[in-house]
Amino acid sequence: MPHVIIVGCGFGGLAAARALADAKVDITIIDRSNHHLFQPLLYQVATAGLSAPAISAPIRSILATQRNLTSLMAAVSKIDVTRKTIALEDGSEIAYDYLIVAAGSTHSYFGHDEWAPLAPGLKTLADAFDIRRRILMAFERAEREADPVRRAEWLTFTVIGAGATGVEMAGTLIEIARHTLRGEFRRIDPQQTKVVLLEGSERVLGAYPPDLSEKARTQLLKLGVDVRTGSRVTHIDEECVRYADQGGEQRLASRTVIWSAGVAASPLGKSLNVPLDRAGRVIIGSELSIPDHPEVFVIGDLAAAISDGKPVPGVSPAAKQMGRVAARNILNRINGKPLESFVYQDYGSLATIGRKAAVAMVGKFKFSGYPAWLFWLFVHVYFLIGFRNRLLVMSDWAWAYLTFKRSARVISSAIDTPVEKPDDAPSQ
């Protein structure tokens, strides 16, 4: 039987695997983690609203009944399209007849990779755990800080980038400070927390129409977020963020910085030796395959695809649709049938801002506030994988809505809190 390798079990890779469930092919799906992640709700884990199992599920469990599929937990280091093999991180190789690359994207710091340890982005559960630790530890450090200036630095949170993730993160952070932590500290008042949202362009949610963008900004301001558009970050260190705006160079004292300003395609795309766009995405044809190698398909965030003359956005519905089309085209090629051109179906855009605050665009309909928030909630619960996940999310959200409490606020001191060695301690 033809061997199909799928690299990545995100939305696109999973959709492709399921579309081939009844096909007479041998499938190997490879992912560096052992779980599929519902990434749109990842910020909820980072802000202690949800636990990791609520938005993730083991890949082996999801695909356990698919008998034509083998799942491997491994990192792909290289793709050799000439020899039709992929190399894993341990040096072993696997041959394929057809390949679907759905490796996704990573953080982009626009040439300033030295900012990464100081301003983590949010792509994986590990990122979410790191950000959650930083957020909760900032309040703990503020409680112990006697100097009011340094205490204010710990109580100032900076979110860089006002796309959907940045807007959601900023809105949730201010709600944690104003409501969740109320009455829990004795030396600090969490309501004095400052959340600053920096955006280099002139609008938040720049991919949305101007009227919805403005409504999002208004809702953020109403929640208490300090929104600063037209602010381009120039420097980040452990104590501050520097940025340039119309008034020149500015300094913002902040100990906790979260990055949501940009993404870059997986570096795996380079090994295909085909043209890439400025973001490192693979330029593909309408059939989702790469030039000169019709057996190799690229989908999801790694693909620079065009539909109806417009770039396909890097969102989960697009990845799912691409995965299904790539799977059908593999079967079409096996059976000698004409290949299908990818046509993106835009089902709309959603972004939550905070409690009862969101914006939504579905076709020609645009709405915001509480109706958009309810719509966002039910859409995300509907698309979660597995009944247990839906039940967990609904129960956690219902509890948070009624009490303002967030259930995942645990820091493991053994793992998350760095232990300082005495000066005379031997090095390892």
Active site residues: 168
Helix (H) or strand (E) holding 150: helix 148-154
Within its chain, how far is the Cα of 189 from the centroid? 31
Three-class secondary structure of residue 134 per DSSP: helix
**β 310-311/306-307 pair status:** antiparallel
- Using the structure block, give the residue that is written with the tokens 């999973």: 14
* Cα distance between residue 57 and residue 37, in whole Å: 7
> Where would I find the H helices in 238-283?
none
The Cα–Cα gap between 17 and 14 comes to 5
Return the axis-axis angle of helices 387-403 and 370-383, rounded to nearest 10°.
150
Tell me how far apart the alpha carbons of residues 280 and 270 are, in angstroms, rounded to a whole number.
8
Q: Does residue 143 contact residue 185 with C-beta atoms inside 8 Å?
A: yes
Alpha-carbon torsion (392, 394, 399, 404), positive or negative = positive
Q: Compute the C-alpha angle 14/20/24, nearest 5°.
A: 150
Please report which residue ranges of 155-306 form alpha helices under DSSP H: 164-175, 210-223
Q: What are phi and psi of 48, to 5 degrees?
A: 70, 20
Asked if 12 and 102 count as a contact pair (C-beta separation under 8 A), the reply is yes
